[in-house]
Amino acid sequence: MLNKSNNNTVLVTGSAGFIGFHMCLKLINEGYQVIGLDNINDYYDVNLKFDRLTLLGINDKTFTQWQPILSKKYPNFKFVYGDITNFSQILSLFQINVFDFVINLAAQAGVRYSIENPSIYTQSNIVGFQNILEACKLMKIKHLIYASTSSVYGMNNELPFKESYNTDSPVSYYAATKKANEVMAHSYSHLFGLPTTGLRFFTVYGPWGRPDMALFLFAKSIISNQSVKVFNNGNMIRDFTYIDDIVKSISLLLHKQHNNLENIYSDKKTIIPYNIFNIGNSSPVKLMDYINALETALNKKAIFDFQKMQPGDVYATHADTSKLQDHISFKPSIPMSIGVKEFANWFLEYYNK
């Protein structure tokens, strides 16, 4: 067990989720005291979430809300079953545990689902995030890191995307809630000096991923001899980012104090402890190349069903990560071919294919 952290305590919300699970493992192995929080909602198969928790040493499948459970595998990990929309319980959790850092990965995810169920996104992504901000302010958290998304760039067609680009025209409600998170965090950083860092993730994939994500859906269809739905006739470009690059970037950012941002909205040179970073691979690939790599990894050909572009989708994403590189001297760079193979190996083992 490494001990780089001097026993700093970190709250990871969304800890039964894809990125949250990997983030907990990363911090646990770096010697942090980690508390994971999740409401284990049924947006997708809860058994996948329970299996992630099992790897973290949490073997129960029935929980008492807000009662911490000690990991049977890692002495520096606890799990709490609860929802970030409950402010009184969130504040109590902060008061009892005295967190040094907070990594907020709890959110209602999914672009297309937000078109049909916007109110769920308002509760989790707006109300829940405001609760996190307020608790962080009251308890004087050293650094709040939170998930945003590349979807905030909307239909911007100037590539690669830079953090300075306008993000005022999101094309999905999911992206709108994440844009709201960024401006909410800015207000707390400006008004209260709360150090915040927003991370615009670019199409994260890897083992233990979400079943609603493209790679998971493609693999399931290929293995089951079902047609793979390919939108916009396959003419899509994505900056696919492997999960290990995501969690390493967050780990490096945790103690890194922000490039204090001058207030560009007035003549006063107010220093604001606020920042936004792209986290992407910076090597976008065509969707068909992504699927072809999966075919190779699964050793099986896909049956294609080409369809038109869906509402809320964008044609291309491409991250400019020069700002991130300057800040933490790290560039996400795991090749798509390697990442897809790692995912395929996990998928075949997990589903006994």
What are the tens digits of pLDDT across the range 226-281? 999 888 777 788 999 999 999 999 999 999 866 555 544 445 566 889 999 999 99
Q: Are 163 and 199 in contact (CB under 8 A)?
A: no
Do the domain assignments include residue 219?
A: no
174 is catalytic: yes
Q: How confident is the model at residue 3 (pLDDT cuts 50, 70, 90)?
A: very low
H-type alpha helices, 122-208 = 128-138, 173-192
Is residue 253 a part of any domain in this protein?
A: yes
Averaged pLDDT for residues 51-77: 96
Asked if residue 307 is part of any domain, the answer here is no
pLDDT (tens digit, 9 = 90+) per residue, 115-124?
A: 788 899 999 9
More confident residue, 264 or 330: 330
Q: What domain count does the chain have?
A: 1
Q: Does residue 50 sit in helix, strand or coil?
A: helix
* pLDDT computed for residue 260 by the predictor: 56
Residue 215: the pLDDT is 92
In a domain, 141, yes or no: yes
What's the CATH number where 157 sits?
A: 3.40.50.720
Annotated catalytic residue within 113, 121, 146, 174: 174
| 58-62, 203-207, 289-293, 306-310: range with lowest mean pLDDT | 306-310
Q: Which of 276, 279, 215, 211 is nearest to 245 (CA)?
A: 279
pLDDT of residue 126: 97
Residue located via tokens 């994971």: 36
Position 4 pLDDT exceeds 80: no
Residue 3 lies in a domain: no
The pTM of the full predicted model, rounded to 2 decimals, is 0.93
Would 69 be classed as within a structural domain? Answer: yes
Residue 46 lies in a domain: yes
Is residue 233 a part of any domain in this protein? no
Burial pattern 319-333, b for ≥16 Cβ within 10 A else e, equals bbbebbeebbeeebe
Sequence-distant (≥ 6) Cβ neighbours of residue 138 within 8 angstroms: 91, 94
Mean pLDDT, range 71-75, rounded to an integer: 98
Which domain, by its residues, includes 55?
A: 9-209+240-282+318-334
